[in-house]
Chains A and B, each alone.
Chain A
């Protein structure tokens, strides 16, 4: 029941937002997302990590018939992993809404309505326990972000967003094929998660279906070589769109690996794990090198994001408890940090009109407070101890070490390379002499300060006191680990 309310708040808010105009709609969206956050906090307090999601109707779950034939249930619920993603989404949404204040945007009511619709779809993806329902939400999440990028995006947006749309939709349709296969090849003819994790599909077929699912997720995450849509889309989408995409939407892919791939097709996963991990590492190194050479601020962050999620995916595919737990924790951390860096990039680009790091410099002198927030976020994303990424990356490295010590070496490389491009970027943009392009740098506005301060606080809060999050994900990591073992 509580999950249903979590799902309905953004949907209703999205409909109401259509009828409001101007500044009012921003305030309304802020109130809606903050009340959603408050409600999430309440759900978090009543959540007592059950080992398996309740199948029957309970406090957190709801399972009603939707379509009789083929059998599809409206089955939503919360377990540790879902709740973690819901917390991430609901933490970030108020910040993303807040980022739009003090900006001139056309047709705000449609934009915020689409954002809230996206919020609804994202929550839906994370709480669905029926494969078909999950698929619907997965597709639904794509439509609002496509229109946000198409209508409010930057140069070349039509081509870039079309590529993004077709690319991700191609992945989804392959996943649909996978779900059809699972439906007709499980004894119970159902797509409920619990049933799917108990299937007995012959290992000869699991390999093929593994790729159907993996391609969908690899495109969304994105894992190299399926990443080509991402840097362009991130740099041409409006800031709030980029924040939604990088902060939350790409977590859909990582979450889905853990929910719908590893436990459902354990033999297929086991068969192809080495290839996937190799792909992830190639991706990590490749993306890091490009990020080091990159001079465009937004593209640099886009490639850094590819490197970071590549590490998370590799850790998940290490198939041990540390790797899975680290992946989950790191998803939360990365979501917060990436939203932070993209917002900083947007503040800089908005004020100086330039995104080329060679034409920037010395902003610290002009706006010391912004420099402080920015360095905290940068340090957070290079995984300095006491910041939120540290715990996650440490556990990921541990998991990969257990899988293979060479893998851990490569994974360690990401951390080093990450420090190289992030600190180099910070040095060029913020330190040194004031570049002639950056003579005036307006001080932070109240909403910008609020967003950055919240992110900075979150970075330290989860870095210093990660216990609640670790406790939240520990049981579910164990469970996914057990289910991912070859049956």
Chain B
């Protein structure tokens, strides 16, 4: 809970920085602040408490995911220093930073909600901040389109969520997840149809938020149009937050009712895996490629959701960490390349290996990790999710996931082939110091986790 309050304070500080003309020092102060909050967050480990009359509750689950979210935001902030460099950006930097902090607040609420109201508040805080950030390049048509599209589709999904919450409330008479969980346990054999409809509506809303097929259509356009750094934020923090909330929602409120939703979840999972990987094959824009790759990763994480009875939270967390560090490294490199070449197409990476072998090797590692090839963290995340799903009897889904991983390798290799065997273009590409650091840190985490994933496998 303290994590949430301090983060909100940082957000307010961001707004105040405008008045006191502290814009220059804003990012370093926020980075420092987040680092402090990160270490404070660790203190809640094994120290479960409920706050605000049962509105929020800390648990190891929320602590672990909060830590990850703080880490991702820290990286995003470090990257933002060299990203927002135009005069227009500098004018608005304090607004941007404040909104980013509030995004993080929303995510933190989604990890520790124990009341439906807080779930909704968390999702809305996160989403509204993102609608603004996606459209924050005011003079670019695509950015406007992204913000607008995301807003329309997102509010539609929020309405579904609200309707679902209302129906569940109508049956159970409570917003608290413990109350709903109790109702579910007591009536597990004879659930009210309205309860099930409410549950399904909430599941649909969450599937939208995690960009699972067939609710994924917003993702590629929004990812492409939004500023690259915000795309990085959406494909890591937002996706992970949505999955954690999804997991928490289902595991606390609906575990015994999931039999009714099984068919929905399995079809969505298989469709997400196949659509994400197949459509990614034909993408030329790197951001769209990562968007579809993100959709396919949502499919792998859905495997953890459908095998939720076996408590797959550790697997989900390990996967999230592996996915986040690889994606952040890939985005840090991509932003550098976009800036130098002025194009977001994969051809911008042509011949990168000749111009900057180290950068090319780094992107190769990130891509191999995303493709799930050992010894990187991405492989272990995938392995543990597959293993857990297998244990819980989802062999067929694992098989689908294996087939789609094979397809997935194609488009990750496309980037690698472009870097290593296409003739180089004339642009010089050199990441700034902050970017180099971020790339190095992310890849080191990926490799260390790949070599010793034991720390996270029985964490939760």
Contacts and interface: CB of A to CB of B under 8 A. Distances in A.
Contacts of A143: 368, 373
A147 B453 CA distance: 26
Nearest to A139: B374
B339 interface: no
A174 B384 contact: no
A169 B409 contact: yes
Contact of B383 (A174, A176, A184): A176
A104 interface: no
Interface in A139-193: 139-140, 143, 147, 150-151, 157-158, 162, 165-166, 169-170, 173-174, 176-177, 180-181, 183-184
Interface in B388-419: 390-391, 395, 398-399, 402, 405-406, 409-410, 413, 417
Contacts of A181: 390, 395
Interface in A45-104: 66-70
B454 A67 contact: yes
A166 B398 contact: no
Interface in B433-460: 452-454, 457-458
Interface in B417-439: 417, 420-422
A169 B457 contact: no
Contacts of B179: none
A167 to B, nearest CB: 10
B207 to A, nearest CB: 26
B386 A165 contact: no
Contacts of A68: 454, 457-458
A52 B456 CA distance: 34
A444 interface: no
A173 B371 CA distance: 11
A150 to B, nearest CB: 5
Contacts of B375: 136, 140
A69 B373 CA distance: 20
B285 interface: no
Nearest to B414: A162
Interface in B270-319: none
Contacts of A107: 357
B417 A177 contact: no
Given A69-B458, A162-B417, A177-B398, A140 B374 contact: yes
B174 interface: no
A147 B357 CA distance: 13
A67 B458 CA distance: 10
Most B CB within 10 A of own CB, among A110, A136, A166: A136
Contacts of B405: 173
A176 B421 contact: no
A177 B421 CA distance: 32
B387 interface: yes
Interface residues of A, number: 30
A150 B421 CA distance: 7
Contacts of A147: 420
Given A139-B374, A174-B402, A67 B457 contact: yes
Contacts of A136: 374-375
Contacts of A158: 417, 420-422
Contacts of A166: 406, 409-410, 413
A75 B55 CA distance: 48
A141 to B, nearest CB: 11
Contact of A150 (B379, B390, B395, B420): B420
Contacts of B390: 180-181, 183-184
Contacts of B453: 67
A190 B384 CA distance: 14
A165 B413 contact: yes
Contacts of B391: 184
A302 to B, nearest CB: 22
A180 B406 contact: no
Nearest to A110: B357
B406 A170 contact: yes
B175 to A, nearest CB: 36
Contacts of A69: 457-458
Contacts of B409: 165-166, 169
A110 B420 CA distance: 13
Contact of B457 (A70, A151, A180): A70
Contacts of B420: 147, 150-151, 158
B384 A70 contact: yes
A150 B417 contact: yes
Contacts of A110: 357
A139 B399 CA distance: 19
B410 A173 contact: no
A170 B413 CA distance: 13
Nearest to B403: A173
Contacts of A67: 452-454, 457
B373 A139 contact: yes
A69 B368 CA distance: 24
Given A140-B374, A140-B375, A169 B406 contact: yes
Contacts of A66: 452, 454
A174 B375 CA distance: 18
A180 B421 contact: no
Ordered nearest first, which 8 A-B pairs have the shortest CB separation? A158-B421, A67-B454, A170-B406, A136-B374, A180-B390, A139-B374, A69-B458, A173-B402
Given A150-B421, A151-B420, A162-B417, 16 more contacts: A67-B453, A68-B457, A68-B458, A70-B384, A136-B374, A136-B375, A151-B421, A157-B421, A162-B413, A165-B409, A166-B409, A174-B402, A176-B386, A177-B386, A180-B390, A184-B390
15 contacts: A66-B452, A66-B454, A69-B457, A69-B458, A70-B457, A136-B374, A139-B374, A165-B413, A169-B409, A173-B405, A177-B402, A180-B390, A181-B395, A183-B387, A184-B390
